Chains A and B, each alone.
Chain A
Amino acid sequence: MDWVALRVSLWLAAGTVALLVPCGVYVGRFLAFHRFRGKLLIEALVTVPLVLPPTVLGYYLLVTFGARSALGRAFETVVGHTLPFSFEGLLLASVIANIPFVVQPIQRGFEAIPADVRDAAACCGLTPWQRFLRIEAPLAWPGVVTAAILAFAHTLGEFGVVLMVGGNLPGVTRTLSVAIYDRMQAFDDRSAGVMAAVLLLVSVATLMITTGLSRRVGLRRG
């Protein structure tokens, strides 16, 4: 059992959620409440990672940030290493791959808030910030929880992008899903089996905890 790989996986998932959910709330809310020219294009761009093969994302990240691109070399001089084959690079890839999983549920959550509720809140003299915190956020919360669950679970299972952008570096970019593949390649079926079972358990537990959480939110709201 590769505990370091599990740690990398959990960090990647937690990091993706932490970075993406706040941005997702902003973007999702904006898309829910505003009509503007080109909204269709923005929505398509937000959704495109959902239908894009991981290899396409991997290709663009490598071409854009690889050691042979100007951007990649600039990054290397500043930070000291290239973005691909580092944890940060993996996090960036994971954030991009998870955009639709986060923005869509949050957008639906905000869209479900009736316009008269928001109007009433405005009439009560609440500032936009108060309206967001006290009215909108509590109502859209299930969407936000769903977004976090999806991003977390999806990142744990991410494989293609990780292998392409991250390589297979132990302790840095070898996530549990890649470690399973690696062990299979090494004919170490026993370790692969143990890790697959652990990943299954962690995934089911995550989903149980978070769905339970969101259900309690729903119940308490009445």
Chain B
Amino acid sequence: MRMALSRSIAGPRHRWWVSAVLAVSVLGAWSGGGPSGASRIAAATSSPQRPRVAAAANLNFALTAIAEQFARDHGTPVDLVFGASGTLTRQIQEGAPFELFLSADEAFPRRLTSAGLTRDAGAVYAIGRLVLFAPRGSALTVDEGLIGLGRLLKSGGVTRFAIANPDVAPYGKAAEAVLKKHGLWDAIRPQLVLGDTISQTAQFATTGNAVGGLLAYSIVSSPEIAERGAFALIPAGDHPPMRQRMVLLKRAGPVAMQFYEYIRGRAARAVLGKYGYEVP
């Protein structure tokens, strides 16, 4: 200690300050100039008005395909951010910089419209469908009337069953309605695992961590998921129709408006149909 003291007085070690400053600035130079650097990079790889689109998780595959087509046709890419419709609505209310919002239902866009955050009431772009999914090797047999599920439930074979969280994800609400219609809700409740989004729910079910789940047809109809198990389409009449509405937000620019029209156009409707949506 004494030595340290005398040495410090004799020759203060500023070198560590120097190297720390160097390290930070090297890192800075490499990373390319701070948050402004981040946006500069974003600007370099895209046009400056590249719009951010918030979309319900069930659109993960379909909208990605549509956006790729849109970028090819118009030369203007869009940034897609997927999440639970409720979460995205909340973020938009708190000022998140989205220009277009594609919800999994009509209630969330309506809430934004009545809060004065949208240009107009928007449009229904798709009607979603639910499927009962069982991963490969699961004890669950799938059928549209949930008979296999009821039987397995009675025999105590259902340990985990995945649905989306009904509070934030419209597909969860529809799943709840289906289970209630078949009188399974009370029995299955202790066994439910709730995904934040329908894709997280699919994650639970397709990886075999649950005996099965009620998922979006649009996710299960993508080839990479379809091969992970078996599914049965739930009749549309077994739950309130899942009319999915999109709204342009107040800050929407020309590209977002173009994309909005594109989604209603023939090319995009064909893609939506391919992913199992009914198109209005």
Contacts of B35 in A (CB 8 A): 11, 15, 87-88, 91, 172
Residue of A nearest to B196 (CB): A185
A132 to chain B, nearest CB (A): 11
- Is A196 interfacial (CB 8 A cutoff)? no
Count chain B residues whose beta carbon lies closer than 8 angstroms to a beta carbon of A.
47
Residue of A nearest to B34 (CB): A11
Q: Are B34 and A84 in contact (CB under 8 A)?
A: no
B52 CB contact (under 8 Å) in A4, A7, A87, A169: A169
Q: Are A7 and B32 in contact (CB under 8 A)?
A: yes
Q: Are B41 and A81 in contact (CB under 8 A)?
A: no
Q: How far is the CA of A199 from the CA of B8 in the complex (A)?
A: 38
- Is B27 interfacial (CB 8 A cutoff)? yes
Q: How far is the CA of A169 from the CA of B54 in the complex (A)?
A: 10
Q: Are B31 and A121 in contact (CB under 8 A)?
A: no
Contacts of B206 in A (CB 8 A): 187
Residues of B within 8 A of A (CB): 1, 3-5, 7-9, 12-13, 16, 19-20, 24, 27-28, 31-32, 34-35, 37-39, 41-42, 52, 57, 60, 64, 79, 81-83, 91, 93-97, 197, 199-200, 202-203, 206, 222, 224-225
- 5 further contact pairs, Cβ within 8 A, besides A87-B35, A135-B9: A10-B31, A76-B95, A138-B8, A138-B12, A148-B20
A170 to chain B, nearest CB (A): 5
Contacts of A122 in B (CB 8 A): none
Q: Are B95 and A72 in contact (CB under 8 A)?
A: yes
With contacts A11-B38, A171-B39, A187-B224 known, is A66 near B79, CB below 8 A? no
Q: Are A170 and B203 in contact (CB under 8 A)?
A: no
Contacts of B38 in A (CB 8 A): 4, 7-8, 11, 87, 171-172
Q: How far is the CA of A182 from the CA of B200 in the complex (A)?
A: 10
Q: Are B93 and A124 in contact (CB under 8 A)?
A: no
Q: Are B31 and A139 in contact (CB under 8 A)?
A: no
A98 to chain B, nearest CB (A): 15
- Is A49 interfacial (CB 8 A cutoff)? no
Q: How far is the CA of A117 from the CA of B8 in the complex (A)?
A: 12
- Is A110 interfacial (CB 8 A cutoff)? no
With contacts A134-B9, A182-B82 known, is A172 near B39, CB below 8 A? yes
- Is A160 interfacial (CB 8 A cutoff)? no
Pick the most buried of A67, A68, A81, A124: most chain B CB atoms within 10 A of its CB. Answer: A67
A203 to chain B, nearest CB (A): 14
Q: How far is the CA of A171 from the CA of B42 in the complex (A)?
A: 6
Q: Are B96 and A141 in contact (CB under 8 A)?
A: no
B33 to chain A, nearest CB (A): 9
Q: Are B24 and A85 in contact (CB under 8 A)?
A: no
Contacts of B202 in A (CB 8 A): 187
Q: How far is the CA of A82 from the CA of B12 in the complex (A)?
A: 45
Contacts of B39 in A (CB 8 A): 171-172
Q: Are B197 and A185 in contact (CB under 8 A)?
A: yes
Q: Are B24 and A66 in contact (CB under 8 A)?
A: no
Residue of A nearest to B32 (CB): A7
Q: How far is the CA of A117 from the CA of B7 in the complex (A)?
A: 13
Q: Are B42 and A114 in contact (CB under 8 A)?
A: no
Q: Are B5 and A120 in contact (CB under 8 A)?
A: yes
With contacts A169-B79, A185-B57, A221-B4 known, is A10 near B199, CB below 8 A? no
Q: Are B82 and A138 in contact (CB under 8 A)?
A: no
Q: How far is the CA of A8 from the CA of B52 in the complex (A)?
A: 17
Contacts of B81 in A (CB 8 A): 167-170
Q: Are A4 and B8 in contact (CB under 8 A)?
A: no
Q: Are B94 and A139 in contact (CB under 8 A)?
A: no
- Is A208 interfacial (CB 8 A cutoff)? no
Contacts of B24 in A (CB 8 A): 14, 17-18
Closest 4 A/B residue pairs (Cβ): A67-B95, A82-B95, A87-B35, A171-B42
